[in-house]
Amino acid sequence: MKITREKAAENRQVLVETAARLFREKGIDGVGVAEISKAAGLTHGALYAHFPSKDALAAEAMQFSTRSAYGKVTEHPVTLAQLVDYYLAPEQRDNLAQGCPLAAAASEVARQDASVGAGYTSGFRQMVEYISQQLPAGEGQRQQALAVMAALVGGISVSRNVYKTDPELADEVLESMRSMLLKLS
């Protein structure tokens, strides 16, 4: 049975959104096309009708994730202090599926296809530009913004990585990063 263009576009979007969530939650290499298709309510044949490979789906999912995250930040602009407080909160650390795609994929993008890396890089650049606009204008503004974004991603990533074995250390990492970064705002 042939489906309409609208339904095909809807199916593609559901696949991208589902993959984006599962990739953040389980990692790109931690989830297969069968699981993504099932979670999207489609067959893996439907997935391959839209994407020639898992890499192609991962690239589009990364672009979608980073655009969505950036859209949330810019939809209701926040100060640097508000961004730091939000990003380095235990709730963000504990919510892989809905958290920042940059932090969720920080340790695995280098092992993925360059197209996945391109989506990551684009999202990182957008956030650096946003943070740069929150900092006082002047020499070193971009370098500070790069350092802040790297510290945010690194801080939440380290906190996630140690949480299961040492929750107190995980909280301490978040608080230390938050304290240091808030001195910039």
In this predicted model, what pLDDT tens digit does every residue of 73-106 receive, in sequence order?
888 888 999 999 999 999 999 998 888 999 999 9
Tell me the domain boundaries of the chain: 5-182
Top-level class of domain 5-182: mainly alpha
Residue with tokens 């939440």: 156
Mean pLDDT of the chain: 93
Kindly list the distances between the CA atom of residue 94 and the CA atoms of 76, 81, 161, 170, in Å, as whole numbers in the listed order: 23, 20, 11, 11
Question: Which tens digit of pLDDT belongs to each residue from 18-46?
Answer: 999 999 999 999 999 999 999 999 998 88
* The overall pTM is greater than 0.85: yes
- Radius of gyration of the chain measured on its C-alpha atoms: 18
Question: Residue 72: its pLDDT value, please?
Answer: 87
Residue 159: CB atoms within 10 A of its CB come to 25
Question: Which tens digit of pLDDT belongs to each residue from 44-77?
Answer: 888 999 999 999 999 999 999 999 999 988 888 8
